[in-house]
Amino acid sequence: MTQARTMLTRRQALLTAASGGLGLAQPLRRPNVLLMLADDLGAKDTGFQGGDIRTPHLDKLAGEGVRFSQLYSYPLCSPTRAGILTGRHPIRYGLAYSVVRPYATYGLSPAETTIAQVFKEAGYQTAITGKWHLGHFNKRLHPLSRGFDHFYGHVNGAIDYFNHTRDGGIDWQRNGRSVIEEGYATDLIAAEANRWINARDPARPFFLYVPWNAPHTPLQAPERWLREYSSIADPKRRTFAAMVSALDAATGAIMDNLRRQNLMEETVIVFLSDNGGPRGQGADNGPLRLGKASVYEGGIRVPGFIRYPAALQPGKSAQVMTPTDWLPTLAAAAGIEPKTAFPLDGVNLWPLLTSGRTEPRRDLFFCVQGETGPKQHALRDGNIKFISIAGKEAIYDVAADPGETTDILSRMPAAAENMRRRTAEWASLHPKAEIYTGSNLHPGWVPPKDWAAAAIE
3-state per-residue secondary structure call for the chain: CCHHHHHHHHHHHHHHCCHHHCCCCCCCCCCEEEEEEECCCCCCCCHHHCCCCCCHHHHHHHHCCEEECCEECCCCHHHHHHHHHHCCCHHHHCCCCCCCCCCCCCCCCCCCCCHHHHHHHCCCEEEEEEECCCCCCEHHHCHHHCCCCEEEEECCCCCCCCCCEECCEECCEECCEECCCCCCHHHHHHHHHHHHHHHCCCCCCEEEEEECCCCCCCCCCCHHHHHHCCCCCCHHHHHHHHHHHHHHHHHHHHHHHHHHCCCHHHEEEEEEECCCCCHHHCCCCCCCCCCCCCCCHHHHEECEEEECCCCCCCEEECCCECHHHHHHHHHHHCCCCCCCCCCCCCCCCHHHHHHCCCCCCCCEEEEEECCCCCEEEEEEECCEEEEEECCEEEEEECCCCCCCCCCCHHHCHHHHHHHHHHHHHHHCCCCCCCCCCCCCCCCCCCCCCEHHHHCEC
Please provide the distance, in angstroms rounded to a whole number, between the alpha carbons at the two ends of the chain.
Answer: 59
How far apart (Å, rounded) are the C-alpha atoms in residues 96 and 124? 29
Strands 150-154 and 125-131: parallel
For the annotated catalytic residues, the residue numbers are 77, 133
In 3D, which of 311, 329, 189, 206 has the Cα closest to residue 261? 206
